[in-house]
Amino acid sequence: MSINLVPGATTLAQLETILRQGEAATLDPSARAGIDQSAERLAKAAAGTAPVYGVNTGFGKLANRRIAPADVETLQRNLILSHCAGVGDPLEQSVTRLVMALKLISLGRGVSGVRYAVIEQLERMLAHDVLPVIPAQGSVGASGDLAPLAHMAAAMMGEGEAFYRGDRISAKDALAAAGINPLVLAAKEGLGLINGTQVSTALALKGLFDAWRAMTAALVTGAMSTDAAMGSAAPFRKEIHEVRGHQGQIDAAAFLRDVLDGSEIRESHRVDDERVQDPYCIRCQPQVMGACIDLLRQAAKTLQIEANAATDNPLVFEDAIISGGNFHAEPVAFAADQIALAIAEIGSIAQRRIALMVDPTLSYGLPAFLTPEPGLNSGFMIAEVTSAALMSENKQRANPCSTDSTPTSCNQEDHVSMACHGARRLGPMNENLFRIIGIELLTSAQGIEMRRPEKTSTPLQGIIATVRKKIPPLGADRFMANDLAMAADLVAQGKPVTKQSLLLLPE
């Protein structure tokens, strides 16, 4: 199966499918006419005498140097090889696949001046599972993700390295094994490939998709903790949230109401409960989680626009070839910072529920650390400490990257976005969040089971059954790390789900 990409109209659902399922991607045939017309205009300019940035001039601070027509191909090749200055571990292959798909969309807008042969090279590589080795570090998020995208372009030319069906080999050998000829770049094509925000955007999209998955799981585990602690569902009533008006808050409250409906545990303490109010980590879930939902949705809107955008330079229009700055990734940097804030806060409130669950002064009758025999056993004592450590790591990482800038390229590129590493840090933040929510999955399931014979709601019983297929209840102390790893994996795979669902964006 190949995902058909319509430039300007590609959906987040399509991009998530490419990321998660490893699907190939092809450009919708309707884009070809615009691409061919743009390439013809560029070829005429390249054959002329007027200076056109990146076509017959040098780059960046060297833009005032004219390049002879005979050297145009050499100029593009040199550009790519010199810009292959990325360092660090390579991007995940799934992210690289998404980068290539995003580049297809951007070039498909028909204002980049590249030949259709460039499109076909990307499509062939995706179809045959030839994925460039792209070092993750080296972009400051302006003038495009230059270094990482240069590694992508180099592999298209048979330079550098690539993964071929999962094996890391030379790009030349990978192309040969797939029966693909190396691409020889024409005027401006190297520039069209490396000017752009596709690496920053791909990393931010992965961060978004994983954060949304974690957020949904955290709503489920939050409902489970509410029932395990015999918390009140009254704060989730519809009218409370409608009079405030924030859509995310309204949606989170509706989710919690629905998923707790039918719980015997909830009914068992509706009367004669001496508690007046629950702690905020229970009572204010709609307000906190709702604000995170709204942040993620706003970031999603930004990233959907950016995924469909033409972001290289210069751009080739019908009446002129114009140098601009669409490569500046400030919108992506802001979106990444928003996602980071949401990740940190989802983990923060989840960690407080874990702390509540293991504390007998707050958990309303549950044993200390959720162990049947406290003292002899420590139960979830240190699992809670681990969740606190992960929470604090994420809070530190949530500090904004977009407010940082440093001048580069002899002060020509004197303000940059830092979008690429701002987006890249979302990966480890989400890993931490999966682990925090995985710990809450275990503590809340344990707490609910300790409320027997009363049962939780049918949807939450189903979640607990899913957990127990992998991880038994905690009786006597046992080696804990394996349980935590399996629980985090369940969250990362999106397993704590119910029939209730929330849309990231309407498609």
Mean pLDDT of 492-502: 86
Average pLDDT of span 229-237: 95
The Cα–Cα gap between 221 and 444 comes to 7
Q: What is the pTM of this model?
A: 0.96
For 434-454, what is the mean pLDDT? Answer: 98
394-423 pLDDT per residue, tens: 999 999 999 998 888 888 888 899 999 999
- Say whether 392 sits in a helix, a strand or coil: helix
CB 222 within 8 A of CB 314: no
Computed over its alpha carbons, how large is the radius of gyration of the chain?
A: 26
Asked whether residue 82 carries a pLDDT value surpassing 80, the answer given is yes
Cβ neighbours of residue 433 closer than 8 Å, sequence gap 6 or more:
211, 214, 218, 343, 346, 347, 390, 394
Q: What are the structure tokens assigned to 284, written together? A: 């204010």
Q: Residue 296: phi, psi to the nearest 5?
A: -65, -40
* Selection from 154, 149, 94, 91 nearest residue 126 by Cα: 94
Tokens of 393: 């790591």
User: Of 44-48, 185-189, 240-244, 255-259, which range is least confident?
Assistant: 44-48
SS (H, E, C) 246-291: CHHHHHHHHHHHHHHCCCHHHHHCCCCCCCCCCCHHHHCHHHHHHH
Q: What is the pLDDT of residue 507?
A: 54
For the stretch 251-268, pLDDT in tens is 999 999 999 999 999 888
- pLDDT, residue 30, reads 97
For 375, the token pair is 């003292």
Contacts of 197 (CB under 8 A, 6+ apart): 141, 144, 145, 306, 309, 311, 327, 329, 332, 419
Task: Please give the average per-residue pLDDT across 329-357, as a whole number.
Answer: 98
Instruction: Respond yes or no: is residue 53 known to be catalytic.
Output: yes
Residues 357, 447: Cα–Cα separation, whole Å: 7
pLDDT at position 443 over 70: yes
What pLDDT, on the 0 to 100 scale, is given for residue 102?
98
63 pLDDT above the threshold of 90:
no
- What average pLDDT score do residues 458-485 get? 97
Question: How many angstroms separate the CA atoms of 204 and 175, rounded?
Answer: 29
Q: Which of 53, 116, 164, 364 is catalytic?
A: 53
